[in-house]
Structure 1
Amino acid sequence: MSLHTFAPLAVSRSSRSFVFAALFSLTACGGASDPSVPKVQAASTSGQLSEDLVLEDFDKTAIPATVKVNNGAVSLVDSARGDKALLVKLDLKENNSAALVIAPEEPWDWSEFSGFNLAFDVANKGTESVQIDVTMTDKNGDSYTRGMVVPADGVWRTYYAKLHGHDQQDPDSAAKNEFNFSSGLRSNPPTWQSDDVMLHSFWGKKLLDLSGITKISFGSDGSLSNRQYTIDNIRLRANPEMDKNFLTGLLDKYGQNAKVDYEGKIHSDEELRAVVAEELAGLSGKLNEGRSKYSGWKDGPRFKSTGYFRTQKVNGKWALIDPEGYLYFSTGIDIIRLSNSSTITGYDYDQALIPARSDDEVIAEDDQPLNRVNEKAWATRHLVSETRAKMFTWLPDYNDPLGNHYGYRRETQSGPLKHGETFSFYSANLERRYGESYPESYLDTWRKVTVDRMLDWGFTSLGNWADASFYQEERIPFVAFADIIGDFGTLSSGFDFWHPVPDPFDPRFYQRALVAAESVNQQINGSPWCMGVFFDNEQSFGRLESDELHYGIVINALSRDAADTPAKSAFTEILKKKYGSIEALNKAWNKQVASWEAFAAGMDSSISTDAQLEDYASLLFAYGDQYFGTINRAMKSIMPNHLYLGSRLPSWGMPDEIVKAAAKNVDIISYNLYEEGLVPSKWEFLAEIDKPSLIGEFSFGADDQGHFHPGIVISADQKDRGRMFRNYMYSFIDNPYFVGVHMFQYMDSPITGRAYDGENYANGFVSVTDVPYIELVKAAKEVNGSLYKRRYGDVQLRARSASERGSD
């Protein structure tokens, strides 16, 4: 998910990779280009840059040979400051990605410099904001990507990315795919104050090999229209003196940024209650006009009803049919629960007093509710991270009236601590908002208000990871979720972002799938309000940057011993059936395996021939078929009336073979797509598989409300978020294969990061004080209000026409 989002190995959200080479010279700011001038002219004896070192100022008569553009065009233009600048126009409407790339003929060597940053000036005179993902790559092939957005206001701004010094370091116990800094945040606050704009950290290696930087890519992808920007004065600068308190006193008692003020910030309990009263006075909690009991299209044609949700193709479009037979399209919001609202405080307890996780558990650690430790454990509370503890200006005592909002994480995926105490400011704010007339009465009020909001805003369902207590509301449809966890074999894809992938050929996997299905079944209790069930999320099934990552699961399985790896045993039987003799396989794969017995025991599975690639494709499909088929059998044996919604394939991990295997076994294929919307060129395969599809996650975030990280798809401000929400939704509502779109997520992530993985994105529909973002609400009402006529209006017209013909 973003529990999202998107787990990147390569240079961008859509895994683009460009290689260009050109000559590039380094000059001091304002000086002429002269390759004979050594770079140390700009550095002091300490390695600190004494003046800006210009990489390119575009003041020549021609575009430098170092500059290339993929899917776009560049030209020199006059800037408002009297010099030249580079106008970049990107062809993104027809292409999923485009980039300006600057690469020297020989790698830049900046190893003598210390404490410095890359800076450049950008303005956008277009009509829409443009996101730029800046990726730097070194001679070892490592890269680091940061993101920024340029508002469409024509204003020149200076943007920068630190390359060395200050906070550029991973946590001491960094995960293999570490997004966080040592603070535990995905992106830190600036380490010095200025009017310049710091880029947001995305992914990659924070400390590149500065002795050989091979290129800088300014990439954009997943956009629905062409974009432009003007760039100038790409340079290296010395970092100013670091603010040693940049991580101190970050949050006020409401979990808001304590160091800045902004529109909508809450300053007192009285102000919060006034905001609540104003909102509640305007909430009706009623279905939109023309909606059925289950939020289907009551004013549209009616089809066969089964008492449960089902799929059907109607006039060439895939559709959901609600339990009463009305056309239905699922729009919703994810994470309407408290599980992901808490943040690590920097304190821990005696581990002997903390119950350990067991293989029999069915709820993953990041899905656990707020779970305070007991009084005995509280007595052992001790500081383990001064950095984390100093981020908070207020935390309650354990026995304080708001002390019940503490929790605990027994393990984390990444961040500064492997386990520790948590606190939920969002949950505490719910108690402040609604009071407590009986134990946890504020949660009952929150549930009612939340459903009232969803109906008022026109949404037709709750998205994934809604708290199970909402399942009993029977006012709005929902989807359910289960992680299949426990004791079974696993395989590596070569990029195991959240965790290794299951070995679905292991009989224990089916048993754990049954346990997961039974757990969900107990929660939904056969409810017709349940649209369907997701199993697992964002599995690392393979990436497309290389054959080795694409077929990593197969490569890993074949290298292992069939005696303890069921997938290897299954793959061996498939290959024996195809080739018969080991000699035939050796000839096709250019290998020298002595026998099938030796093959089964473990072999060199590196890719040597095209025939081997073809076989690996077949084996990856067999893996996917077993994975999705096993879950489908387990689910349908317990919940035959509910739809299997797949595993929420991330856009970075959806090989063709896996998508086709999913299409064979699931009722609806689900994808998590963090882009601006559906770019047709990337989704042409939908026509081939012809399967109903659903978006499980997307988001847009902005940093104008005190957050340090907006998320991986960035809006210029709240108004821009509303614009992007409309465009994203319409791109899928208008597509004949999609039957639902769910946004991630209901509330902002904590500014100091989610407890499990440090994600601190400002991508919620409501703030930490549970105050809705008005521009998003307006956009949601507009999109959802026209939902059914936009999606199925042609169906209504055809049905009416047929009825009129029948009466003639």
Structure 2
Amino acid sequence: MNRLLFFGCLLTQPVFAQAPDSLTVEARVWSRDKNRQIVYSDWKPFRAMTVERLNGFRPVSSPKLSTYGGDASRTWRKTGFFRTENVDGRWWLVDPEGHPYISLAVNSVRPGQSPNNRKAFDESFGNPDRWIAQTKQVFNRAGFTEAGSWSEVDPIRQYNQTTPKPLVYSVMLSFLSTFERDWKTKHPNTELPPAPLLVFDSTFAQFCRDHARRADTYRTDPNVLGYFSDNEIAFTNSLLDQALKAPNTPAYRAASDWLTGRGSNLQALTDADREAFQGLVAGVYYRSVVPALKAIDPNHLYLGTRLHANAKYNPAIFAAAEPFIDVISINFYGQWQPTKASFLKWAAWSKKPFIITEFYTKGADTGMPNMSGAGWLVRTQADRAVHYQNFCLSLLQARNCVGWHWFRYQDNDPADLSADPSNNDSNKGLVDTRFVAYDALINGMKSLNDNRFELINYFDKTRK
């Protein structure tokens, strides 16, 4: 059987057949100009599918869910922790009680720290306990079950001790970014190499063993989905050239030895060399990080490094990660929705399921500048909800997808001078800078999120 045809079986067919099942939303496309400055296109129409327009689909209003948000109508093997399982060709997460589970998370569940944010926090909540309890109510209204990467986990852990319906969470450990910071401190007079090349440093493996001890805090917590070890590592085509420009470094020796063994010409590098070298770097990274992490916590899922940009389309990186990951994490920007072509590639390159761990759109109706961050711009909060449904309906048709994580909990505050450049002026949140929820957005999210298991059944039956 043709390989792509085989992997096409992972998808329901067709993906987004248009016609009366879709509507039109106007959006402005985000991109960078030749000077790397953010620019938007003019308003353009995009087709979008929504739950209410699916032919023959009948939504439910009160799904039967488990303690963690799994499908309570089915029970598989219980382990007390989250795990993965492939059932009849579809990948699932399985919650600690043994129920099929889809990861529905919001990233950066933490209160903003600008003066405006802190004032609103004090007026609305007064303390972290009230904040997380009310945030969980917002999540319930939107149908989310998890706090994703960069969330403030201590209030979540305390809240989970007081409720029969915990908020699932994931932990970001930041191995390489922490090592990079420490390396810079220890070598103040040495030019800092690209972060990925630091994996060849002789101290990196021991650092990983030491750093992994942080996971011991979470080792027995059933409410943890798993760990991200880093975010958007810069696996780029320039890594090989950069390594060869730095003689007498571990990266140079690793690159030159690898090229010699490969039979490549150091003076005439090819794009194939550059792509494969990224796989070498990724392999050293994963071999250093994951065994160290699993030695401390064998109970929880390893969720990878949130591949982005060209890295999410490099088969050498997928091959390097394959022996170590439980779930592939992918940050997805630049397209109105994930495509069948992407699903086929990821399925061909990996036997593991994937989660989309970042995506979002911004609304022009907030009056915010909306110039930072990679999300596209739509006109209203209701349009943000339509984009969300369209995006996630495409994911539910991919039988190797086990969830998605929206970026992020709260809008950027333009008055926050401490914010990083990618998070300083945009409407990304479920709530605004004063912690007020966007009702039109979360209502649209809920109508899809609450029907996730029914939608999977619908698409799988349509496929047969």
- 1:127 Cα deviation after fit: 3.1
CA contact (8 A) 1:135 1:144 kept: yes
Q: Distance in 2 between matches of 1:453 and 1:538?
A: 28
What's 1:512 paired with?
Answer: 207
What amino acid is aligned across from residue 642 of structure 1 in structure 2? H
What's 2:327 paired with?
Answer: 668
| 2:195 is the alignment partner of 1:298 | no
| 2:168 is the alignment partner of 1:477 | yes
Which one of 422, 443, 459 corresponds to residue 778 of structure 1? 443
Q: Distance in 2 between matches of 1:513 and 1:754?
A: 33
What's 1:553 paired with?
Answer: 239
What's 2:226 paired with?
Answer: 532
- 1:795 Cα deviation after fit: 7.8
- Secondary structure in 1 matching 2:414: coil
CA deviations on 1:470-515 (whole Å, 9 max, x unpaired) are: 134331211111112133489xxxxxxx973352232322233233
Q: CA RMSD in A?
A: 3.1
TM-score with structure 2 length normalisation? 0.80
Q: Following superposition of structure 1 onto structure 2, how do residues 233-632 of structure 1 map, counting pairs within 5 Å?
A: 289-299=63-73, 301-338=74-111, 341-342=112-113, 423-434=114-125, 436=126, 442-469=127-154, 470-474=156-160, 475-484=166-175, 485-486=178-179, 487-488=182-183, 500-522=195-217, 524-542=218-236, 550=237, 552-561=238-247, 563=248, 565-579=249-263, 589=265, 605=266, 608=268, 612-632=270-290
Q: Distance in 1 between matches of 2:301 and 2:172?
A: 12
Question: Larger relative contact order (C-alpha < 8 A, sep ≥ 6)?
Answer: 2
Q: Distance in 2 between matches of 1:687 and 1:734?
A: 13
CA contact (8 A) 2:382 2:444 kept: no
- Secondary structure in 1 matching 2:330: strand
- 1:792 Cα deviation after fit: 4.5
What's 1:703 paired with?
Answer: 364
- 1:517 Cα deviation after fit: 2.2
CA contact (8 A) 1:692 1:738 kept: yes
CA deviations on 1:216-248 (whole Å, 9 max, x unpaired) are: xxxxxxx6669xxxxxxxxxxxxxxxxxxxxxx
What amino acid is aligned across from residue 325 of structure 1 in structure 2? G
| 2:419 is the alignment partner of 1:756 | yes
Q: Distance in 2 between matches of 1:445 and 1:143?
A: 42
What's 1:687 paired with?
Answer: 347
CA deviations on 1:533-572 (whole Å, 9 max, x unpaired) are: 0011111111xxxxxxx2x1122223323x4x32333334
CA contact (8 A) 2:354 2:403 kept: yes
**Cα distance change on mapping 1:433 and 1:143 into 2, 3 Å:** closer
- Secondary structure in 2 matching 1:507: coil
- Secondary structure in 2 matching 1:323: coil
- 1:320 Cα deviation after fit: 0.6
- Secondary structure in 1 matching 2:93: strand
CA contact (8 A) 1:132 1:147 kept: yes
- 1:149 Cα deviation after fit: 5.3
CA contact (8 A) 2:63 2:451 kept: no
What's 1:677 paired with?
Answer: 337
Q: Distance in 1 between matches of 2:137 and 2:380?
A: 26
CA deviations on 1:37-80 (whole Å, 9 max, x unpaired) are: xxxxxxxxxxxxxxxxxxxxxxxxxxxxxxxxxxxxxxxxxxxx
What's 1:150 paired with?
Answer: 43
CA contact (8 A) 1:625 1:665 kept: no
- Secondary structure in 1 matching 2:252: helix
- 1:649 Cα deviation after fit: 1.0
CA deviations on 1:101-143 (whole Å, 9 max, x unpaired) are: xxxxxxxxxxxxxxxxxxxxxxxxx932132457765xxxx56
What amino acid is aligned across from residue 558 of structure 1 in structure 2? L
CA contact (8 A) 1:699 1:713 kept: yes
**Cα distance change on mapping 1:135 and 1:693 into 2, 3 Å:** closer
**Cα distance change on mapping 1:754 and 1:721 into 2, 3 Å:** farther
What amino acid is aligned across from residue 571 of structure 1 in structure 2? A
What amino acid is aligned across from residue 445 of structure 1 in structure 2? R
- Secondary structure in 1 matching 2:76: coil
Q: Distance in 2 between matches of 1:662 and 1:791?
A: 28
CA contact (8 A) 2:24 2:47 kept: no
**Cα distance change on mapping 1:715 and 1:754 into 2, 3 Å:** farther
- 1:463 Cα deviation after fit: 1.5
- 1:785 Cα deviation after fit: 1.1
- Secondary structure in 1 matching 2:394: helix
What amino acid is aligned across from residue 667 of structure 1 in structure 2? D
What's 1:129 paired with?
Answer: 26
CA contact (8 A) 1:703 1:717 kept: yes
Q: Distance in 2 between matches of 1:767 and 1:537?
A: 25
TM-score with structure 1 length normalisation? 0.47
CA contact (8 A) 2:85 2:91 kept: yes
**Cα distance change on mapping 1:144 and 1:304 into 2, 3 Å:** same
- Secondary structure in 2 matching 1:503: helix
CA deviations on 1:640-686 (whole Å, 9 max, x unpaired) are: 11111111111344333223322332111111112322122344312
After TM superposition, the structure 1 stretch with the greater mean CA deviation from structure 2, 711-720 or 318-327, is 711-720
Count of aligned residue pairs for this structure pair? 408
CA deviations on 1:243-291 (whole Å, 9 max, x unpaired) are: xxxxxxxxxxxxxxxxxxxxxxxxxxxxxxxxxxxxxxxxxxxx96411
CA contact (8 A) 1:316 1:736 kept: yes
- Secondary structure in 1 matching 2:305: coil
**Cα distance change on mapping 1:291 and 1:133 into 2, 3 Å:** closer
Structure 2 spans left out of the alignment, 5+ residues: 1-15, 18-22, 50-60, 161-165, 186-192
CA contact (8 A) 2:219 2:299 kept: no
What amino acid is aligned across from residue 99 of structure 2 in structure 1? Y
Q: Distance in 2 between matches of 1:768 and 1:510?
A: 41
Q: Distance in 1 between matches of 2:390 and 2:461?
A: 24
Give the number of the structure whose alpha-carbon radius of gyration is greater: 1
What amino acid is aligned across from residue 150 of structure 1 in structure 2? W
Q: Distance in 1 between matches of 2:443 and 2:396?
A: 18
- Secondary structure in 1 matching 2:323: helix
- 1:731 Cα deviation after fit: 1.3
What's 1:73 paired with?
Answer: none
CA contact (8 A) 2:362 2:384 kept: yes
Q: Distance in 1 between matches of 2:419 and 2:310?
A: 21
**Cα distance change on mapping 1:769 and 1:511 into 2, 3 Å:** same
CA deviations on 1:150-207 (whole Å, 9 max, x unpaired) are: 276xxxxxxxxxxxxxxxxxxxxxxxxxxxxxxxxxxxxxxxxxxxxxxxxxxxxxxx
**Cα distance change on mapping 1:646 and 1:135 into 2, 3 Å:** closer
What amino acid is aligned across from residue 566 of structure 1 in structure 2? P
Q: Distance in 2 between matches of 1:657 and 1:460?
A: 33
What amino acid is aligned across from residue 336 of structure 2 in structure 1? E
What amino acid is aligned across from residue 483 of structure 1 in structure 2? S
Q: Distance in 1 between matches of 2:194 and 2:417?
A: 18
CA contact (8 A) 1:335 1:464 kept: yes
Q: Distance in 1 between matches of 2:276 and 2:310?
A: 20
